[in-house]
Amino acid sequence: MRAFLMSIFLAAPLLLQADLGWFTKFLLSNRGYARNIEVETYILTQSQAAYLAANPSKKPKQLTVTELAQSSCLYLVARVKNLKKAEAWGTLSITIPGVCRNMKMSIISVYTEFSNCFICMDEHANFKSVNSLPQIIFYWNELYTY
């Protein structure tokens, strides 16, 4: 018993210096909170994205595939809104069937008003191979609250 206690005593400084990131993530992880976050996704042209950045409260208009295919620069936009009061942040995993898959979007903070997050899709998007705009599929890869 004495040897066991001595080994814990000697290991304590190493344990205190260890990366506790996983433990903090474990304590704050709350994927079930996703039902309290409203998410809207859009694929926008550069001019639409610029307009949305200047007017964050405006809801953008989703263009057709034909209109999007004419643009040289496209943006994936996620509009997120917290429906409750907990502080929330995380990472969305987004797939657009036939266009791109498993793109990660970091959401720094989710507020009670819509906030917009942008990803430039230049190297990811290929709308010339699809006939209609596919449904954007997303899920919270990581979601944290406190």
Asked if residue 123 belongs to a domain, the reply is: yes
- Structural domain count, the chain: 1
The DSSP result for 84-122, as a single string, is: SSS-EEEEEEEEETTTEEEEEEEE----SS-EEEEEE-T
Res 132: pLDDT: 84
Asked if residue 135 belongs to a domain, the reply is: yes
Asked if residue 2 belongs to a domain, the reply is: no
pLDDT band at 17 (very low <50, low <70, confident <90, very high): very low
Asked if residue 22 belongs to a domain, the reply is: no
Asked if residue 10 belongs to a domain, the reply is: no
Asked if residue 1 belongs to a domain, the reply is: no
Q: What is the DSSP letter of 131?
A: S
Domain that holds residue 48: 31-145
pLDDT band at 13 (very low <50, low <70, confident <90, very high): very low
Asked if residue 24 belongs to a domain, the reply is: no
